[in-house]
Amino acid sequence: MERNADSEAARELRQAYVRLFDCPDGRRVLEDLAGQGFARASTFDPDPCRAAFNQGRRSLYLRVGRMLDPDGFGPLDGGRGA
């Protein structure tokens, strides 16, 4: 029973992400997150602390992308060509 509640909560959360980003402003914010979140750039930095920080930003962007994809494993932009 708890598993069904967890999967329902996950489905509702995913739908909230889709509603949030499925509008012109949401797509604009998603594009900004792609730039700030190293979606198309290396997270490498000679300073290992900075590299770890950059990787954390990228991880957050990747989570948003997974939440926007119905299967959770598709394009980072939720299929919107960002």
Considering the entire predicted model, what is its pTM?
0.79
Residue-level pLDDT, tens digit, the chain, 82 residues? 577 888 899 899 999 999 999 999 999 999 999 999 999 999 999 999 999 999 999 999 999 999 999 886 555 444 444 4
For the chain, how far is it from start to end, CA to CA, in angstroms? 38
Alpha helices in the chain (DSSP H): 2-21, 24-36, 48-68
Residue type, 9: A
Residues ≥6 apart with Cβ < 8 Å to 78: 18, 21, 30, 65, 68, 69
